[in-house]
Amino acid sequence: DAGVIQSPRHEVTEMGQEVTLRCKPISGHDYLFWYRQTMMRGLELLIYFNNNVPIDDSGMPEDRFSAKMPNASFSTLKIQPSEPRDSAVYFCAIAGGSDTQYFGPGTRLTVL
């Protein structure tokens, strides 16, 4: 967990509200990944960036989801509007290529 900071750690919101999840990698990396984990669907790759550029967003479930990486030290995942089925744990991970990924502690999102 030490290489990636995620905030908030827990988020509870109501359906229809905008949610922004944040990721701050501490160490240098080339790649940044956003995952979603649920009991039903397991671990899903949502989107990943290479050198701050989105490479593959085919895992983003709907247009309500968007992700940005304005610089090498910060990325956001936004859900607008949020729905109860978006409730999950969202992970950010970093890597130096097709090699070892290092995960953050995750953000547990609950949409009521």
Partner 1 sequence: AQSVAQPEDQVNVAEGNPLTVKCTYSVSGNPYLFWYVQYPNRGLQFLLKYITGDNLVKGSYGFEAEFNKSQTSFHLKKPSALVSDSALYFCAVSGNTPLVFGKGTRLSVIA
**Which residues of the shown chain bind partner 1 in the complex (CB under 8 A)?**
1, 4, 31, 33, 42-43, 45, 48, 91, 93, 95, 98-106, 108
Which C-beta is closer to partner 1: that of 64 or that of 110? Answer: 110
Closest CA to 56 of 64, 46, 66: 46
The distance of closest approach from Cβ of residue 7 to partner 1 in the complex, given in angstroms and rounded to an integer, is 14
**Which residue's CB is nearer to partner 1, number 16 or number 97?**
97
Instruction: Kindly give the pairing relationship between strand 107-111 and strand 10-13.
Output: parallel
- For partner 1, give the closer residue by CB, 65 or 91: 91
Q: What backbone phi and psi angles, to 5 degrees, belong to 44?
A: -120, 130
Output Rg (C-alpha) for the chain, integer angstroms: 13
Torsion over CA of 45, 47, 49 and 53, rounded to 10 degrees? 170
Measured from the CB of residue 106, what is the shortest distance to partner 1 in angstroms? 5
Report in angstroms how near the CB of residue 66 gets to partner 1 at its nearest.
20
